[in-house]
Amino acid sequence: MAWQTELTDIGPNRIAPRGRPIEDLMGNARFSDVIFLLFTGREPSESESRFVDAILTSSIDHGVSPPSTNATRTVAACRSPLSACVAAGVLTIGDVHGGAIEKCMRTLMAAVEEARASGRAAGEVAAGAVRQAKEQGRRLQGFGHRLHTEDPRAVRLFALARELGLAGPHIEMADAFVAAFAEQGSKPLPINVDGAIGACLADLGFPPEMGNAFFIISRVPGLVAHAVEEMRRERPMRQVDPKEAEYIGPKRTEG
Amino acid sequence: MAWQTELTDIGPNRIAPRGRPIEDLMGNARFSDVIFLLFTGREPSESESRFVDAILTSSIDHGVSPPSTNATRTVAACRSPLSACVAAGVLTIGDVHGGAIEKCMRTLMAAVEEARASGRAAGEVAAGAVRQAKEQGRRLQGFGHRLHTEDPRAVRLFALARELGLAGPHIEMADAFVAAFAEQGSKPLPINVDGAIGACLADLGFPPEMGNAFFIISRVPGLVAHAVEEMRRERPMRQVDPKEAEYIGPKRTEG
Amino acid sequence: MAWQTELTDIGPNRIAPRGRPIEDLMGNARFSDVIFLLFTGREPSESESRFVDAILTSSIDHGVSPPSTNATRTVAACRSPLSACVAAGVLTIGDVHGGAIEKCMRTLMAAVEEARASGRAAGEVAAGAVRQAKEQGRRLQGFGHRLHTEDPRAVRLFALARELGLAGPHIEMADAFVAAFAEQGSKPLPINVDGAIGACLADLGFPPEMGNAFFIISRVPGLVAHAVEEMRRERPMRQVDPKEAEYIGPKRTEG
Amino acid sequence: MAWQTELTDIGPNRIAPRGRPIEDLMGNARFSDVIFLLFTGREPSESESRFVDAILTSSIDHGVSPPSTNATRTVAACRSPLSACVAAGVLTIGDVHGGAIEKCMRTLMAAVEEARASGRAAGEVAAGAVRQAKEQGRRLQGFGHRLHTEDPRAVRLFALARELGLAGPHIEMADAFVAAFAEQGSKPLPINVDGAIGACLADLGFPPEMGNAFFIISRVPGLVAHAVEEMRRERPMRQVDPKEAEYIGPKRTEG
């Protein structure tokens, strides 16, 4: 009794993700296009392709402060193999670290569905959801950031979505939530990168449980870079304190 | 006493991998370009960009047979979080699974250096190395494949390197090794995908210890796709036997 | 601003888990006693000490079939370091693999509390809970086993609890559930090792979230043994099929 | 074609590690005895049993400073499941963290073998090895400690070995190395806990590659305790700095 997979067709001299010969993808499709193909079964449009690249780029690294980086560097300080360093960093990702993507997707998808079913405007639905969360003392995930008052990644993702014609009801609803916070709250709560990725993935048609999928794929290269840097620059077994680090690379340049 | 990092400059409303504002990278650079930037400190040329995409695409998935997939699916069958599924798969990657990239890089780099220092031709150096390995009973990693007699990924990588003008002495040396095997051996030993990636990374200027870095980044999306498929299609706690699976997706189509 | 720990006092030439000098524990306490001490802050009584040993012994290994073993062996087949092999096996442990301990603890603790609050007999409360679960189509975790119709580990744990005078209301309630299944159901559902461990830990006063703690500690030595055996006996990169294995050690002997 | 295992015989209502019915082990053998049984195929003597307990106790926890604890707490701060927290901590264990056990075993075993083959005294062989290491600028692993000038765990292990009649040539050789350091060096280099465990395991007849096996098993309960404490006492996503912690448990008491 065989079990079944739809992902990649393998045979002698044949490797075909979703049925596409890999030698045709290589050199023609971008890496992110093949990720999209594996997840959806189809190749992205040119706009989707650029948008997925921007989403994956947005979370590739956040310096030394995130717990994923700290876990990876702690294992790298012990000179375990690169795969162990990356695995430890990935293990921090879940409900809390990165989890706001999925939670914000669920919030936005429920609100979009409510607006659709009731015929009410996004602003009205968002205002109700924000009021209800406040009454229940629940924090809505995906809004506000410890460090960034205006997260440049979130701003850029939404601008790009509009530029590429890919902004849909979930991005609209995210903006409605930000407006509702501003109307009802004292402290502004702009959307953060997790919330913005969530809105973008929802508008691209991905289900909420794919939130961490994109975050993991996006962050793994950053973790690899930190592990390699740790092994090259620092002595074995040092205690890694993320609050003590200093950036010594080139300063901010325009693109 | 601060410790130092050259990777990403972080401050309020500032996220700049290698000093480049992330909002400028997003929408302009491809995900693989930002991976290249994080690793090297510079953005790739257009040719390098397409080449890195092909390298990362080449190992994204190999169906259900590899141990990385099996470890990921076994954890996914237990319904552990996606990050745990991916971490377990990554932990298979090392000296054996994927390790031929680094080992082949070291072989080719030593041979290229020997040719340079001695002024001998690549073919002569390769013939000597193949003869010596045979006499010592050592298997040279990166050549031959259990399933593929002509690995379409390796063929495509070398063709693309030449098309893009990026083929250098390590790809030339890899071809010289294949020729030496054919002259000296009974059984043909074409280069496999690991060996081909190793030759390409060496010609791009990466050090051998980056071999697994590329393999991990390339394979993680495939592992994510297998974890998601396992959770969607199969019952919890099933025993995953990679030899019993059947591909049921679309059949091979031309690109 | 220091953060605080109650676990182990460390200073020059001073290592004191829960304040006990480690040199006094070594040679006097058993390993399992120090585990108990770390978790509870006190040393176990002689009866508790033997009981904890039995609990930890019960799940130390279950041959090649469990997913934890399969994940560990798959990584060991790739010759990753022992720590990577063990980590991959541990990652299978959670809601599904081992999770019945915690779930059964919650079921039994709720039923014991209900009996206490209402003054009803264990048998009556258990019968109600079993009936309700049946009506709602919910499976009660901790009862029934794929392979064992009478799990020798569960039988032994409950007998030992009584012999040592440590059986309390949760073991009594577990028996009441088994009786209720027999009265109401067609198929007998004896308690399995997970359920029995859950009842024992609850009677020892541990909270439900410690269920997986004991399972992980118990299983890690088994995973180590499988990783070591895999590396010694089998060739690298083999595909591990848990259904194809044969036990070749000494046959069953009386203790 | 079946593959083979010598570890545990499994069948309906039959679970027998190394052929011993588990219900006979439970209540009679200590957890550490069953670990010894799984690893060696035989049950330990009473002396060996107490000694293995002391070895496993010696490394169960070292407060918040080790990288294993830091990795586990960093993942626990992200509220990943207990198994992910433990896995990340285990991944720090290898060549550097804990690796001195295996390295010291190899040093001592080579020296004992050299003494046996040459008929020279332990002191003479040790003096030669220490001199040679000094000349080559190699540090001998297993001697000296960052924090402890006289490691109470090492002292206790050797005293206990002698008390139990289990001290053999490797413990004798370890003492000879310490004497050689004192004679030749300016700074005293007492044996540390890793070196002492290595000498004890070698005298018990274990091969060097089992060094990390014992360290992992010993440390896992400590990692579990730290993960549980982190989740109970600290807020999600905090940055864990091991240098800022304060022990607030009971103060040092005599055993």
Top pLDDT among C253 and D118 is at: D118
Q: Is the pLDDT of residue D255 over 70?
A: no
Structure confidence by residue, pLDDT tens digits, B101-111? 999 999 999 99
Q: Tell me the whole-structure pTM to 2 decimals.
A: 0.97
Closest CA in chain D for residue B84: D84
Q: Does residue C28 lie in a domain region? A: no
Those residues whose C-beta lies under 8 Å from the C-beta of residue D187, and which sit 6 or more positions away, are: D144
Top pLDDT among D243 and A30 is at: A30
Percent of the residues in chain D that have a pLDDT greater than 90, as a whole number: 91
Is residue A234 left, alpha or beta, with left meaning phi > 0 and alpha meaning psi from -120 to 50? beta
Q: Judge whether A88 is closer than 8 Å to chain D, CB to CB.
A: yes
The mean pLDDT of D182-193, rounded to a whole number, is 87
Q: Of A92-101, A171-180, B77-86, B178-187, which range is least confident?
A: B178-187
The confidence score (pLDDT) of residue C126 equals 97
Q: Does residue A168 lie in a domain region? A: yes
The confidence score (pLDDT) of residue C253 equals 63
- Nearest by CB to C94, from B71, B78, B92: name it: B78
- Per-residue pLDDT in tens (0 to 9) along chain A, 255 residues: 799 999 999 999 999 999 999 999 999 999 999 999 999 999 999 999 999 999 999 999 999 999 999 999 999 999 999 999 999 999 999 999 999 999 999 999 999 999 999 999 999 999 999 999 999 999 999 998 888 888 999 999 999 999 999 999 999 999 999 999 999 976 789 999 999 999 999 999 999 999 999 999 999 999 999 999 999 999 999 999 988 899 999 987 654
**Cα–Cα dist D231/B214, whole Å:** 35
Categorize the per-residue pLDDT at B252 as very low, low, confident or very high, splitting at 50, 70 and 90: confident
The confidence score (pLDDT) of residue D253 equals 64
If one counts the domains in chain C, the total is 1
Are the Cβ atoms of A60 and B9 closer than 8 angstroms? Answer: no
Q: How far is B111 from chain A (nearest CA, A)?
A: 25
The confidence score (pLDDT) of residue D254 equals 54
**Cα–Cα dist C225/C236, whole Å:** 17
**Cα–Cα dist D1/D168, whole Å:** 43
**DSSP 3-state assignment of A38?**
helix
The stretches in chain C having pLDDT less than 70 are 186, 253-255
- Nearest by CB to D92, from A67, A80, A95: name it: A80
Q: In Å, how far are B199, B215, C46, D157 from B202, measured between CA atoms?
A: 5, 14, 64, 50
How are beta strands A14-17 and A8-11 bridged, if at all? antiparallel
The confidence score (pLDDT) of residue C75 equals 98
Structure confidence by residue, pLDDT tens digits, D208-237? 999 999 999 999 999 999 999 999 999 999
The mean pLDDT of B206-233, rounded to a whole number, is 98
Q: Is residue D162 packed enough to be buried (19+ CB in 10 Å), middle (13-18) or exposed (0-12)?
A: exposed
**Cα–Cα dist D99/D80, whole Å:** 27
Domain extent, residue A117, equals: 100-209
The confidence score (pLDDT) of residue A252 equals 73
The H-or-E segment that residue C36 falls in is helix C31-40
How are beta strands D14-17 and D8-11 bridged, if at all? antiparallel
**DSSP 3-state assignment of B11?**
strand
- Nearest by CB to B243, from C71, C77, C239: name it: C239
- Chain D from 206 to 245: CB within 8 A of any C CB: 209-210, 212-213, 216-218, 220-222, 224-226, 228-229, 233-234, 238, 241, 244-245
Categorize the per-residue pLDDT at B185 as very low, low, confident or very high, splitting at 50, 70 and 90: confident
Q: Does residue A154 lie in a domain region? A: yes
Categorize the per-residue pLDDT at D186 as very low, low, confident or very high, splitting at 50, 70 and 90: low
Structure confidence by residue, pLDDT tens digits, B17-69? 999 999 999 999 999 999 999 999 999 999 999 999 999 999 999 999 999 99
Q: Does residue C251 lie in a domain region? A: no
Q: Is the pLDDT of residue B254 over 60?
A: no
Are the Cβ atoms of B83 and D83 closer than 8 angstroms? Answer: no
Those residues whose C-beta lies under 8 Å from the C-beta of residue A147, and which sit 6 or more positions away, are: B10, B11, B12
Those residues whose C-beta lies under 8 Å from the C-beta of residue D30, and which sit 6 or more positions away, are: C30, C31, C32, C53, D49, D53
**DSSP 3-state assignment of A167?**
coil
Q: Is the pLDDT of residue B255 over 50?
A: no
Nearest to C228 by CA among C89, C57, C53: C89
Chain centroid offset of residue C98 CA: 7
The confidence score (pLDDT) of residue A254 equals 54
Percent of the residues in chain B that have a pLDDT greater than 90, as a whole number: 91
The confidence score (pLDDT) of residue A123 equals 97
Q: Does residue B214 lie in a domain region? A: no
Q: What is the 3-state secondary structure (H, E, C) of chain D?
A: CCEEECCEEEECCEEEECCCCHHHHECCECHHHHHHHHHHCCCCCHHHHHHHHHHHHHCCCECECCHHHHHHHHHHHCCCCHHHHHHHHHCCECCCECHHHHHHHHHHHHHHHHHHHHCCCHHHHHHHHHHHHHHHCCCCCCECCCCCCCCHHHHHHHHHHHHCCCCCHHHHHHHHHHHHHHHHCCCCCCECHHHHHHHHHHHHCCCHHHHHHHHHHHHHHHHHHHHHHHHHHCCCCCCCCHHHEEECCCCCCCC
Instruction: Write the DSSP symbol of residue C44.
Output: P
Q: Does residue D35 lie in a domain region? A: no
Q: In Å, how far are A210, C68, D218 from C63, measured between CA atoms?
A: 35, 10, 22
Predicted interface score ipTM higher than 0.85: yes
The mean pLDDT of D55-76, rounded to a whole number, is 97
Tokens of B187: 């059984």
Top pLDDT among D46 and A186 is at: D46
The confidence score (pLDDT) of residue D148 equals 86
Q: In Å, how far are A161, A241, B23, B38 from A255, measured between CA atoms?
A: 19, 31, 9, 15
Return the CATH number at D119.
1.10.230.10
Q: Does residue A81 lie in a domain region? A: no
Q: Does residue D190 lie in a domain region? A: yes
**DSSP 3-state assignment of A198?**
helix
**Cα–Cα dist A105/A201, whole Å:** 8
Closest CA in chain B for residue D79: B81
Instruction: Write the DSSP symbol of residue C143.
Output: B
